[in-house]
């Protein structure tokens, strides 16, 4: 089966993009990372991508008068490379409803919380302030509203006594690197379908799983 042609949009470090690139190096992975695009020309992730032999393309938001022109340049870059699916991975620009609609069900994002809790920024600080014992991360199809859309996969992460936003972020980021490649494989492999704004996985074997209890003792 032909591998799905994927672009990853980043703004900075790009550790989730790197996790996707590494996963896609497996010969049986259903997606190929064809392009890494950044709105910030100095994003560290661009160097990682070109070192991995992937086209790394900066499209500087500052070079455009408005959002529509900027997004048109992104769309042109994606269509020129016959991209079929777009992964947002720490891409810090809000995309317009037009762009999101154009890529409906072909645009996914990773967010560092168990959605629909803690949409937006500073999720780890807010999880600590709320006193939740379980936090986590989510990969979802993108809709026009921020951090909204059908959920593909989530990982739950315990909040430990003494956690700071930094230690919690570190634990959640490790889970992000685990679930984003799984989510992309589900979508690119044709296993995850959107039905009525929920994701169904009709041909996936579901384990019963165990509850994550936090604190465990």
Nearer to ligand GRF, 52 or 72 (CB): 52
Separation between Cα atoms, residue 89 and residue 152, nearest integer Å: 15
Asked whether position 12 contacts ligand GRF by CB under 6 A, the answer is yes
Q: From the list 9, 14, 48, 187, which residue makes contact with ligand GRF (rule: CB under 6 A)?
A: 14
Label residue 203 exposed, middle or buried (CB < 10 Å: 0-12, 13-18, 19+).
exposed
Q: Locate 107 and state its tokens.
A: 């645009």
Binding part of the chain for ligand GRF, among 10-18, 20-28, 181-189, 193-201 by CB under 6 A, reads: 10-18
Number of residues counted as binding ligand GRF (CB under 6 A): 13
- 1 Cβ neighbours under 8 A, 6+ residues apart: 30
Asked whether position 110 contacts ligand GRF by CB under 6 A, the answer is yes
Q: From the list 46, 49, 176, 188, which residue makes contact with ligand GRF (rule: CB under 6 A)?
A: 176
Asked whether position 112 contacts ligand GRF by CB under 6 A, the answer is yes
Q: From the list 6, 15, 36, 188, which residue makes contact with ligand GRF (rule: CB under 6 A)?
A: 15
Label residue 161 exposed, middle or buried (CB < 10 Å: 0-12, 13-18, 19+).
exposed
Among this protein's residues, is 177 annotated catalytic? no
Helical axes 123-130 vs 165-188, angle rounded to 10°: 120
Separation between Cα atoms, residue 135 and residue 159, nearest integer Å: 6
Q: From the list 61, 111, 140, 143, which residue makes contact with ligand GRF (rule: CB under 6 A)?
A: 111
Question: In this structure, are residues 42 and 13 in contact, taking their beta carbons and an 8 Å threshold?
Answer: no
- Minimal CB distance to ligand GRF: which residue? 90
- Tell me the chain's radius of gyration from C-alpha atoms: 17
| Greatest alpha-carbon span in the chain | 56
Q: From the list 7, 8, 9, 16, which residue makes contact with ligand GRF (rule: CB under 6 A)?
A: 16
Asked whether position 119 contacts ligand GRF by CB under 6 A, the answer is no
Asked whether position 124 contacts ligand GRF by CB under 6 A, the answer is no
Residues that bind ligand GRF in the complex, under the rule CB under 6 A: 10, 12-16, 89-90, 110-112, 173, 176
Catalytic residue ranges: 111
């Amino acid at each position: 089966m032909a591998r799905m042609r994927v672009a990853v949009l980043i703004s900075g470090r790009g550790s989730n993009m790197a996790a996707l690139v590494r996963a896609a190096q497996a010969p049986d992975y259903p997606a190929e990372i064809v392009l890494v695009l950044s709105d910030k020309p100095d994003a560290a992730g661009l160097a990682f991508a070109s070192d991995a032999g992937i086209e790394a393309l900066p499209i500087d938001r500052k070079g455009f008068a408005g959002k529509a022109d900027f997004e048109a340049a992104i769309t042109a870059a994606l269509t020129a490379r016959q991209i079929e699916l777009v992964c947002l991975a720490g891409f810090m620009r809000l995309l317009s409803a037009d762009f999101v609609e154009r890529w409906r069900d072909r645009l996914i994002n990773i967010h560092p919380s168990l959605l629909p809790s803690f949409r937006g920024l500073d999720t780890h600080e807010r999880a600590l302030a709320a006193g939740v014992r379980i936090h986590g991360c989510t990969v979802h199809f993108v809709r026009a509203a921020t951090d909204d859309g059908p959920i593909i996969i989530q990982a739950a992460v315990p909040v430990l006594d003494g956690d700071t936003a930094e230690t919690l972020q570190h634990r959640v980021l490790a889970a992000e690197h685990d679930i984003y490649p799984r989510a992309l494989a589900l979508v690119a492999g044709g296993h995850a379908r959107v039905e009525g704004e929920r994701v169904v996985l009709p041909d996936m074997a579901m384990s019963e799983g165990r509850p994550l209890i936090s604190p465990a003792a």
